[in-house]
Amino acid sequence: MLAVEAGGRKRFDLQAGTVGEALRQLPVANLLFDEAGELRRLVNVFVDGVDARGGRGLDEPLSDESEVRIVAAVAGG
């Protein structure tokens, strides 16, 4: 769904110092963050394969080689 909202694109090369900065540059940022600017509960972010919520979260620093993956969980009943 996120790729559809991003015009079909699945990859972006961004210049950002932290995970939060990178996510806010994406064309789907409005879907990732709630009204308070917090990452939505069902959005999982991984930096180089490691869950970003376990570290510094959105303040996790990125290197030029970092790969950030977004996995949006599906919920419902």
- Per the structure, how many domains does the chain have? 1
Domain presence at residue 77: no
Instruction: Collect all residues with Cβ–Cβ distance below 8 Å to 20 and sequence separation of at least 6.
Output: 57, 58, 59
Other beta carbons less than 10 A from residue 58's beta carbon: 18
In a domain, 41, yes or no: yes
Kindly state whether residue 35 falls inside one of the protein's structural domains. Answer: yes
Res. 77 pLDDT band, cuts 50 70 90: low
**CB contact at 8 A, 7 and 38:** no
46 neighbors 52 (Cβ within 8 angstroms):
yes
pLDDT tens per residue, range 18-69: 999 999 999 999 999 999 999 999 999 999 999 998 778 899 999 999 999 9
Q: Is residue 52 part of a domain?
A: yes
* The predicted structure's pLDDT at residue 22: 97
Instruction: Find the CATH number of the domain harbouring 51.
Output: 3.10.20.30
- Containing structural domain, residue 40: 2-72
